Structures are given as structure tokens and as C-alpha cells.
Amino acid sequence: MYKTCPAATAGAKKNDRLWSKIKKNWVLYLFVLPALIYLIIFKYIPMYGVLIAFKNFKPIKGIFGSPFTDHFGLAHFIRFFNLDIFWSLIKNTLVLSLYSLLAGFPLPIVLALLINSASTKRLAKTTQMITYAPHFISTVVMVGILNLIFSPQLGIASLLLNALGIIDGPLMVLASNSSFAHLYVWSGVWQGLGWGSIIYIASLSAVPVELHEAAIVDGATRFQRVLKIDLPTILPTMVIQLILNCGNILSVGFEKVYLMQNSLNIDSSEIISTYVYKMGLQKAQYSFSSAVGLFNAVINLIMLLTVNRAARALTQTSLF
């Protein structure tokens, strides 16, 4: 007589429970189905194209017909690591990414706490509306605004500073390597500040009113209630957001950097994503640009896993 394997029995029970949940909540799973189909078609199926990073891709031969490169398919990666501008690309990308994280991560939290502490609902809603508005400005329009303000000759800032006698001559902010990172980051902070605070405001709305009432009875000040009630409430959300941001540490937005880039600030504005664009689309070096993009993705994945594990160990909160 055959004995039933305990592991197989447990697995069968687990599958039965899963199918019973799906049958019970089939309507909810039906809502998820379009998003799942989208992910499979546009995110997972195209992943086979990563093979061209290890091949000398010839469009006429296709992905599978193209030959593998030398050095066990790693020739394009070796070429990238040996570039004279390799460390410059890494440095510029990290500077913009870390600067954006340090400036842009805490400020939406502060704004959410201030809005939540507003004396009247009207003031809170007005502040929300004003701070949300810049998010809906397109990247092209945003860069156009920066050009209008900081244009060397006819920019508003240049004309004003010359009229006040603070400077004498054109304002060369857009053409300065040292100013590029500041202009990129703080314009991004201004544009995304209100929108980034939405998730924290939603978390703060779940705080029971009774907690604040009890704290007031005990004599707690508004600042003490923020520290002892509001911040602990949104801490898990803060950790998740930090993990996601760190997972994109080398994925600086391409469009804005490329639009702000010029021949005078190229030393500080050339990043991995703009380099991939130039190599891949402008110079048609598809395999090489794919190898650079794959390197970028692998580093982001390592960062995501590392920060997620650290967050789980320190705060008991993680993505998985």
C-alpha cells in the first residue's frame, strides 16, 4: 500500500484553497485580468529581446539568427566598461538620482503633514490644489518654462538680475555644468511635490480621530501628535516608497535630461539613459545599447533587493 507524501498533500490543499478563493471572488479577478494581460504582452513577452545584448544583432537575421559575440557573449559589456566616459556616466547618473532622492523624498512627507495639520479644510484643499497643479505640466513645457526663465539673454531671471545690478551680463545657468544638477532636481521637486504627497495624505486619513482626541486630553501639543501619531502611521508607506525609489537609483528620467542637455553642460548631463538613446537610435548600435540598458536594469534590481532586505530587517516592512 502506497503512502501519501505529506508535502504533496499540503501542496494539493493549498491549490484547492487558491482555486476556491478564485471561484468565490471571480469578479475581482476579472477586474485584474486586463492589467495581467497587459503585463504579459508588453512586459514579459518582450523580455526575450534581451538576447541581443549578447549578440551582434543583424536586423535581417533576426534575434535568434544573429551570432553571439566574443568573450562568451559579453563583448558589449566589456566594451562599455572600458569606455573613457564609463565612470562619468555612472557618476552623473548617481548624482542626479541621489540628489533627487535626498531632496524629493522627505519634502512630500512634510507637505502631507502640514496639509493634514491645516487649521481649516478650505486651507488644506486650496494648498492641495495649488501644489498638485505643476504635476500636470508636460516635460516639454516644463523645460520650455526653464528656458524662458533662465535664458542667458532674454530670460526673466537674467533681465531681473541685470536690472537690479546683481550681475552684469548674461546669466549662464543653462550652460553651466555646476548648475545643471540643481536646476534639474529642484524643478522636479517643485513639479512633483504635491503629487507625491497624495499617498501620505491618504495614509494620514486612516488615523483614528480618537487617538488625537486622547492625546489632546493628555496635553500633547500639535508637534508631539505629529511625532507620536502621524509619523508612525505613515512609516510603512514611507519605507515602501523609499524601497521603490532606491530600486530606480540608476533610472533617471530620460526626457527631461535630454531636453535640458546642450553642448556646454554635456559633461554633467550625459547619463546612462541618454547615452543608450544616442547609441541605440541615433547610431543604430542596437546590441551595444541593449547591453548598457541591461547593465542598468541589473544594478537597479540589486539595489531594490538590498534595500528591501535592509528595510525588512530594520522596520519589519518590505515589498516581499
pLDDT tens-digit map of 190-224: 999 999 999 999 888 888 888 888 888 888 888 88
- Within a domain: residue 36? no
Q: Which of 142-146, 252-256, 276-280 has the lowest mean pLDDT?
A: 252-256
- Supply the pLDDT for residue 2: 46
pLDDT tens per residue, range 217-240: 888 888 888 888 888 888 888 888
The domain total for the chain is 1
What is this structure's pTM?
0.81
How far is 80 from 76, CA to CA, in rounded Å? 6
Determine the Cα–Cα distance for residues 75 and 292; give it in Å rounded to an integer: 11
Torsion-angle region of 241 (φ positive above 0: left; ψ -120 to 50: alpha; else: beta): alpha
Report if residue 30 sits inside a domain.
Answer: no
State pLDDT tens for residues 74-129. 899 999 999 999 999 999 988 998 899 899 899 999 999 999 888 788 888 898 89
Whether 70 is covered by a domain: the verdict is: no
Domain that holds residue 242: 87-315
Residue 215 falls within a domain, yes or no?
Answer: yes
| CA–CA gap between residue 5 and residue 185 (Å, rounded) | 58
Question: Does 39 fall in a domain?
Answer: no
Q: What is the mean pLDDT of residues 29-39?
A: 91
Q: Does residue 287 fall inside a structural domain?
A: yes
Question: Is 136 within the bounds of a domain?
Answer: yes
Residue 101 domain flag: yes
CATH number assigned to the domain comprising residue 205: 1.10.3720.10
